[in-house]
C-alpha cells in the first residue's frame, strides 16, 4: 500500500518533474498538431487522460500474468482495444468532443506516453497507484497542451478558449474571450513552426525555473552547513 | 517481477501463445460489446449533425417531411460520382432539395452543401470541409465572413453564364485579397451544381412519394389499461 507521501510524489512527477511533454519529451506529434487553440489542447488532453487511466489500471491488473517475452504485443493489443472502446464511447456520448478531435482519438494509440507509462510503471506496480500515475501523467499532459494551445491562440488569433462551449457545453461559454479585438494575428502561430517555437520556449522556461530552484536549495543547504560548523 | 522465481510453466511456449490468444479473445469481446451498445447513439449523433447542416441551407420552415429519410441518387457522368439529393416536401409536394457538391481549391477538395428551391434559386451554400490556407482561403467559412451568403437567391439565369465568375474574371462574385483560387473554385462548383440540378429538375420535382410503411398494429387490449 502506498502512503500519502508516495501519492504526492506521483502527482509532482506527472505534473512537473516528469511532465510527459516538457520533461519526457513524449507525444510531441499530437502536442504540436492539435494545439492551435486552447480548447483543442484541453479536449485532446481529456481524451488522453481517460485512456491513460484505463490502460494503466488494466495493464496493472495483468502485470503478474504477462511474461516479458510477449509483453509488448500484449500491451499494444490492450491499448489499441481500449482506445477503440473510448473512441466509440466519445462518438456516442460526447459527440461535440468527437467532432473537435476527429482523427486524433485513434492516434492516441501511437501516443508514446501510454506505452511508456505501461512499461515503466503499470507493469510493476499495483492497480491503484498505476491508475493514479495515469491520472497525474494525463493531467500534466493536458496542462502542457492547454498552455501551448493558449499561447498559440492568443498570439495567433487574439482569442482564448474559442469554441469552449462546443467542447464543454454552453455553461462554459463565459470562457470564450476575445483578448485583442480586430486582431490580424500572426499566422505562423497557427502552423507547425509556431508550435515548435512555443514548445521550445516552454521547455527552456521549465529548465530555468528548475535551475533557479536547485541553486536556491543549494544555497540554503550551504548556509545551514556553515551555521553548524 | 524482479528477483522473483518465475514459475517454470510460464516459460513454456504454450503459455505465451495461450496468453496472447486469451487477451485477444478478451479484446474482441470488449470491442463487440461496445460496438453493439453504441451503434444507435452514434447513428443518432450523425443524423443530428446532418440536420444542422441541412437547416443552414434549407430552412426547416419550408418543409414538413424528414429530408434525411427521403433521398434520390443520380449519377453525374462528368464527375463519375453519384449525387445524393435530400428531398424536402411540404404537403407532399417537393419544395426544395439539398445536396453536396465538390470544388477543387488551392489545397485540395472542398466539400459544399447547397439547397435549391422549386424555382431553381439557391437557398444557401455552406462549406462542409476544406483544407484552404487559414487566414486567406478560409474566409469561405460562414464563421469567418459573409462571403458564402453571396450565393443566396442566385440561379442559373441570374446571373447569366458570364456572371458566374469572380470579379477578376468578369463575373459578379467577390474574390479575397491574396486568395483568388479558393473563391473561384467555389463559384465553379456551385454553378456546376446548379447546372446538374437543372438537367434533372423534372425528375427531382416529380419524384414519387416513398412507399408508406404498413401501419404498426398495436394491440387493442392495451388501450383499456390507460
- The string of pLDDT tens digits covering residues A63-99 is 988 888 889 999 999 999 999 999 999 889 888 778 7
Q: What pLDDT sits at residue A166? A: 67
**How far is the alpha carbon of A70 from chain B, nearest alpha carbon, in Å?**
7
Mark yes or no for CB contact B24/A77 under 8 Å.
yes
Query: Which chain B residues are within 8 Å of A50, Cβ to Cβ?
Result: none
Q: What pLDDT sits at residue B222? A: 47
DSSP secondary structure string for all residues of B39-96: HHHHHHHHHHHHHHHHHHHS-GGG-SS-TTT-EEEEEETTTTEEEEEEEEEETTEEEE
Extents of the domains making up chain A? 4-228
Query: Which chain A residues are within 8 Å of B137, Cβ to Cβ?
Result: none
Cis peptide before B52 (omega within 30 of 0): no
3-state helix, strand, coil in chain B (%, to 5): 40, 20, 35
| B5–chain A Cβ distance below 8 A for any pair | no
Q: What pLDDT sits at residue A115? A: 92
Q: A140 CB contacts (<8 Å, ≥6 apart)?
A: A14, A15, A16, A18, A19, A20, A21
| B29–chain A Cβ distance below 8 A for any pair | no
CB atoms within 10 A of CB B128: 12
**B42 to chain A: nearest residue by CA?**
A92
Q: What pLDDT sits at residue B4? A: 52
Asked whether the ipTM of the predicted complex exceeds the cut of 0.85, the reply is: no
Residue A211: pLDDT band (50, 70, 90) is very high
Q: A101 CB contacts (<8 Å, ≥6 apart)?
A: A34, A40, A43, A44, A47, A90
pLDDT tens-place string over residues A30-45 = 888 888 888 888 888 9
Find the angle CA(B75)-CA(B81)-CA(B84) to the nearest 5 degrees.
65
Q: What is the DSSP letter of A118?
A: I
**Phi/psi of residue A41, each to 5°?**
-60, -45
Taking only the tens of pLDDT, chain B with its 226 residues reads 444 556 676 678 888 889 999 999 999 999 999 999 999 998 888 888 888 888 888 888 888 888 888 888 888 887 778 888 888 888 888 888 999 888 888 888 888 999 998 888 999 999 888 888 766 777 888 877 888 898 888 888 888 888 888 888 888 888 888 888 999 999 999 998 888 888 888 888 888 777 766 666 655 544 444 4
Q: What is the DSSP letter of B112?
A: E
Q: What pLDDT sits at residue A229? A: 67
**How far is the alpha carbon of B62 from chain A, nearest alpha carbon, in Å?**
28
Q: What pLDDT sits at residue B49? A: 81
Residue A105 has pLDDT above 50, yes or no: yes
**How far is the alpha carbon of B116 from chain A, nearest alpha carbon, in Å?**
27
CB atoms within 10 A of CB B2: 4
Cell 490580424 found at: A184
Q: What pLDDT sits at residue B1? A: 44
Round to whole Å and give the CA distance between B25 and B17: 12
Round to whole Å and give the CA distance between B197 and B156: 10
CA A76 to chain centre: 20
Q: Measure CB to CB from residue B134 to each of A62, A65, A187 and give the nearest one.
A: A187
| B27–chain A Cβ distance below 8 A for any pair | yes
Answer for the pair A30, A111: CB distance below 8 angstroms, yes or no.
Answer: yes
Mark yes or no for CB contact B45/A70 under 8 Å.
no
Q: What pLDDT sits at residue B225? A: 45
Query: Which chain A residues are within 8 Å of B48, Cβ to Cβ?
Result: 95
Query: Which chain A residues are within 8 Å of B34, Cβ to Cβ?
Result: 84-85, 88-89
Round to whole Å and give the CA distance between A190 and A194: 6
Return the bridge partners of B111, or none.
B102, B129
| B16–chain A Cβ distance below 8 A for any pair | yes
Q: What pLDDT sits at residue A56? A: 95
Average pLDDT over residues A200-211: 93
Round to whole Å and give the CA distance between B32 and B142: 39
Return the bridge partners of A178, or none.
A159
Round to whole Å and give the CA distance between A10 and A133: 6
Q: Measure CB to CB from residue B30 to each of A85, A98, A123 and give the nearest one.
A: A85
| B34–chain A Cβ distance below 8 A for any pair | yes
Query: Which chain A residues are within 8 Å of B30, Cβ to Cβ?
Result: 81, 85
**How far is the alpha carbon of B41 from chain A, nearest alpha carbon, in Å?**
5
Find the angle CA(B190)-CA(B114)-CA(B57) to the nearest 5 degrees.
140
Q: Is A178 helix (H, G, I), strand (E, B) or coil?
A: strand
Question: Which pairs count as long-range contacts for B40-44, CB under 8 Å and 24+ apart, including other chains?
Answer: B41/A91, B41/A92, B41/A93, B42/A88, B42/A91, B42/A92
Q: What pLDDT sits at residue B215? A: 65
Amino acid at each position: 500500500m502506498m502512503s500519502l507521501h508516495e501519492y504526492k510524489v506521483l502527482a509532482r512527477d506527472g505534473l512537473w518533474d516528469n511532465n510527459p511533454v516538457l520533461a519526457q519529451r513524449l507525444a510531441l506529434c499530437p502536442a504540436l498538431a492539435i494545439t492551435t487553440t486552447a480548447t483543442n489542447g484541453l479536449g485532446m488532453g481529456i481524451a488522453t487522460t481517460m485512456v491513460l487511466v484505463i490502460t494503466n489500471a488494466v495493464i496493472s491488473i495483468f502485470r503478474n500474468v504477462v511474461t516479458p517475452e510477449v509483453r509488448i504485443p500484449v500491451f499494444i493489443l490492450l491499448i489499441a482495444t481500449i482506445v477503440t472502446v473510448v473512441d466509440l464511447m466519445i462518438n456516442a456520448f460526447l459527440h461535440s468532443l468527437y467532432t473537435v478531435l476527429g482523427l486524433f482519438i485513434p492516434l492516441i494509440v501511437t501516443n508514446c506516453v501510454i506505452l511508456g507509462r505501461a512499461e515503466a510503471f503499470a507493469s510493476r506496480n499495483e492497480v491503484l497507484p498505476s491508475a493514479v500515475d495515469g491520472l497525474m501523467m494525463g493531467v500534466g499532459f493536458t496542462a502542457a497542451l492547454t498552455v501551448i494551445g493558449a499561447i498559440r491562440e492568443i498570439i495567433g488569433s487574439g482569442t482564448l478558449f474559442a469554441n469552449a462551449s462546443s467542447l464543454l457545453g454552453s455553461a462554459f461559454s463565459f470562457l470564450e474571450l476575445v483578448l485583442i479585438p480586430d486582431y490580424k494575428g500572426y499566422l505562423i502561430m497557427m502552423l507547425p513552426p509556431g508550435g515548435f517555437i512555443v514548445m521550445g520556449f516552454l521547455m527552456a522556461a521549465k529548465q530555468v525555473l528548475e535551475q533557479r530552484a536547485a541553486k536556491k536549495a543549494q544555497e540554503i543547504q550551504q548556509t545551514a552547513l556553515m551555521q553548524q560548523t | 517481477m524482479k528477483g522473483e522465481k518465475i514459475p517454470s510453466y510460464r516459460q513454456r511456449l504454450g503459455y505465451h501463445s495461450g496468453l496472447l490468444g486469451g487477451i485477444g479473445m478478451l479484446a474482441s469481446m470488449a470491442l463487440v460489446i461496445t460496438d453493439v451498445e453504441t451503434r444507435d447513439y452514434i447513428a443518432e449523433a450523425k443524423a443530428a449533425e446532418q440536420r444542422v447542416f441541412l437547416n443552414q441551407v434549407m430552412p426547416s420552415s419550408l418543409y414538413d417531411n424528414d429530408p434525411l429519410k427521403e433521398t434520390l441518387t443520380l449519377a453525374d457522368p462528368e464527375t463519375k460520382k453519384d449525387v445524393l439529393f435530400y428531398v424536402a416536401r411540404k404537403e407532399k409536394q417537393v419544395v426544395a432539395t439539398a445536396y453536396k457538391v465538390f470544388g477543387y481549391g488551392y489545397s485540395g477538395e472542398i466539400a459544399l452543401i447547397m439547397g435549391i428551391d422549386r424555382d431553381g434559386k439557391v437557398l444557401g451554400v455552406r462549406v462542409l470541409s476544406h483544407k484552404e490556407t487559414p487566414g486567406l482561403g478560409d474566409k469561405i467559412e460562414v464563421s469567418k465572413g459573409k462571403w458564402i451568403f453571396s450565393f443566396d437567391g442566385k440561379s442559373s439565369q441570374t446571373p447569366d453564364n458570364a456572371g458566374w465568375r469572380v470579379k477578376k474574371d468578369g463575373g459578379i462574385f467577390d474574390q479575397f485579397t491574396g486568395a483568388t483560387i479558393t473563391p473561384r473554385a467555389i463559384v465553379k462548383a456551385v454553378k456546376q451544381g446548379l447546372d446538374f440540378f437543372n438537367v434533372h429538375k423534372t425528375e427531382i420535382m416529380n419524384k414519387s412519394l416513398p412507399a408508406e410503411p404498413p401501419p404498426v398494429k398495436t394491440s387493442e387490449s392495451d388501450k383499456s389499461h390507460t
